[in-house]
Amino acid sequence: METEVLKLNDYINTGIISEEDLVKIKEAAAVLKEGGLVAFPTETVYGLGGDARRPDVSKRIYAAKGRPSDNPLIVHISSMDELYPLVKSVPVDALKLSRVFWPGPMTMVMDKSDVIPHETTGGLDTVAVRMPVHPVATKLIELSGVPVAAPSANRSGRPSTTTAEHCIEDLMGRIDLILDGGPCDIGVESTIVDLSGEVTLLRPGAVTMEMLTEVLGNEPLRDKAVVRPLNEGEKPKAPGMKYRHYAPSAPLTVVRQKDGGDEVRKVYEAINDMVSEWTVEGKKVEVICTRECADALHLPEGVLVRTFGSEGESGEIAKNLFAVLRDTDSDSVDSIIAEGFGEKDLFLAIMNRLKKAAGWQIVET
Ligand code: TXA
Ligand code: MG
C-alpha cells in the first residue's frame, strides 16, 4: 500500500489552518469517510484513525499496528452531539468532567451503544471516547462525519508517536495517509477515566488526578495497573495497560528518590555509580535524564546521555519523553538508565510511562 504524506505547512508555522491546509485535511477526511486509515496529530500523541463503526476498518487498524485485537480503540469525536449516539447513557460525572476537560486530553469509558461494534472495543461492552482539542484533529473528525477510532499511531510495543516522522518510521506502507501537523504539545497519551462503574483512573495523563478530584469533589479510584506491576494472569481495566509498552530495545532501569526525598544529588550519585559499575563489566550504557542531572554526572568516556528537559519542568519532560525513548533505539546500547521523579500532577503520567518502559525495574535512593 502506498502511504501519502500531507504536510500542513501553514499550520506548523503559524498555528492557524490556512485554505491550503484545509484542502489537505478535507482529503484526509474523505479517506476516513471511505473506510481508509489516516494518521493525524492530536494534542497528546498522533492517532491512527479509521471509521469506528466499521468492523473491517477496526481490523485493518489492528493489522497496521500489529496490535492484539483484544486491546480496545479510543473513539474520537469533535462535538458533544456526537457523543450521545455512541453510548447507552451519559453518567452525571461524565457530564461534569466533559464540561471542564473537553475538548482536551481526557478519555472517558462508558457503556457502548450498538453503533460501536465489538471489533472496535476489543469485545468489551464499554467504549472509550475522547474529544481532542487539537484544531487539525477537530477539523478532520468534523469533516469526516464519522466517529474516528484511533489508537496511538505507533507499531505495537514501540513508544507512541509524537511527530509525523515517527509515524513514517512505524507506519509507512501500512496506512493510506499521514497528516503532518508538526510535533504534539503534550507528548503523553490522554488520561483515561472509567465511568461505567465507580469512577476509576485507568491511565494517568495531562488531566491529572488532582484536577479530576477537584471537579468530581472526591478522589477517583486508581486501577491496579496504575499503582503496581500486574501479577501473571491479572487483568487491568484498560486492556492496553498490561503490555510492556514504550519499550526501548535495551533494558531500562529507573533511578529516583524514595518518596518524600529532597536530595536529588543522591539520584545523580546513584546513576554515576551504576554507570561506572556496568561500564567496568563491559556494557555499553546510556543515560536519559534532565539537563541538571546530565551536568552533574561524571561519566566514563563513551557513555551516551540524552536529555528530556529541565528538573521540575513536567510539561517539557512529557513532551520529549517518547522521542528520547525512540532515539535510544538507534544508539544500540546494552542498558539504559533513566532519571525518575516523584508522582505529583503530570509526573504521575511521566512515571507511569517510564515504569512501563522499564518493566517496573526501579531503584530508589
Ligand atoms: O491520547 C490518546 O488517548 C491517544 C490519541 C491518539 O487520542 N490514543 C491512545 O490510544 O493512546 P491507544 O489505543 O494507544 O490507547 C488506548 C487505551 C488502551 O490502554 C486501551 O486498553 C484503553 O485505552 N481502552 C480503550 N477502550 C477501553 C474500554 N472500553 N475500557 C477500558 N479501556 C479501554
Ligand atoms: Mg498506544
Beta bridge partners of residue 364, listed in sequence order: 256
Q: The pTM is what? A: 0.97
Q: How many CB atoms lie within 10 A of CB 115?
A: 15
Q: Which residues contact 35 (CB under 8 A, 6 or more apart)?
A: 50, 51, 54, 56, 57
At residue 179, φ and ψ (nearest 5 deg) are -95, 115
Tens of pLDDT, residues 257-310: 998 788 899 999 999 999 999 999 999 999 999 999 999 999 988 899 999 999
Q: From ligand 1's centre to the CA of 176, what distance in Å? A: 22
Say which ligand is closest to the CA of 112. Answer: 1
Question: What pLDDT was estimated at residue 244?
Answer: 65
Q: From ligand 2's centre to the CA of 305, what distance in Å? A: 26
Question: What pLDDT was estimated at residue 240?
Answer: 81
Q: Which residues line ligand 1 (CB under 6 A)?
A: 42, 44-45, 47, 71-74, 107, 109, 121, 124, 126-128, 130, 150-152, 189-190, 192, 202-203, 237-241
Residue 177, pLDDT > 80, answer yes
Q: How many CB atoms lie within 10 A of CB 357?
A: 25
Distance of alpha carbon 308 from alpha carbon 311, whole angstroms:
9
Closest-CA residue to 127 (of 146, 109, 149) = 109
* Three-class secondary structure of residue 191 per DSSP: strand
Question: What pLDDT was estimated at residue 245?
Answer: 64
Question: What pLDDT was estimated at residue 149?
Answer: 98
Residue 12, pLDDT > 80, answer yes
Residue 208, pLDDT > 90, answer yes
| Residue whose cell numbers read 484526509 | 28
Look at 197 and 236; give whichever has higher pLDDT.
Answer: 197
Distance of alpha carbon 91 from alpha carbon 158, whole angstroms:
34
- The residue whose C-alpha atom lies closest to atom 21 belonging to ligand 1 is 240
Tens of pLDDT, residues 95-106: 999 999 999 999
| Mean pLDDT, residues 106-119 | 98
Yes or no: say if 288 and 339 are a contact pair by the CB < 8 Å rule: yes
Q: Regarding beta strands 304-307 and 252-256, do their DSSP bridges make them parallel or antiparallel, or are they unpaired?
A: unpaired
Beta bridge partners of residue 307, listed in sequence order: 289
249: pLDDT confidence band, cut at 50, 70 and 90? confident
Tens of pLDDT, residues 303-329: 999 999 999 999 999 999 999 999 998
Distance of alpha carbon 106 from alpha carbon 190, whole angstroms:
5
Calculated CA dihedral for residues 179, 29, 321, 183, nearest 10 degrees? 40
Yes or no: say if 171 and 36 are a contact pair by the CB < 8 Å rule: no
Question: What pLDDT was estimated at residue 62?
Answer: 96
Alpha helices for the chain (secondary structure H)? 9-14, 19-33, 55-65, 92-101, 135-144, 164-171, 209-216, 224-227, 264-280, 291-296, 314-329, 346-357
Residue 239, pLDDT > 90, answer no
| Mean pLDDT, residues 195-219 | 98
Tens of pLDDT, residues 62-99: 999 998 888 899 999 999 999 999 999 999 999 999 99
- C-alpha cell belonging to residue 161: 508517536
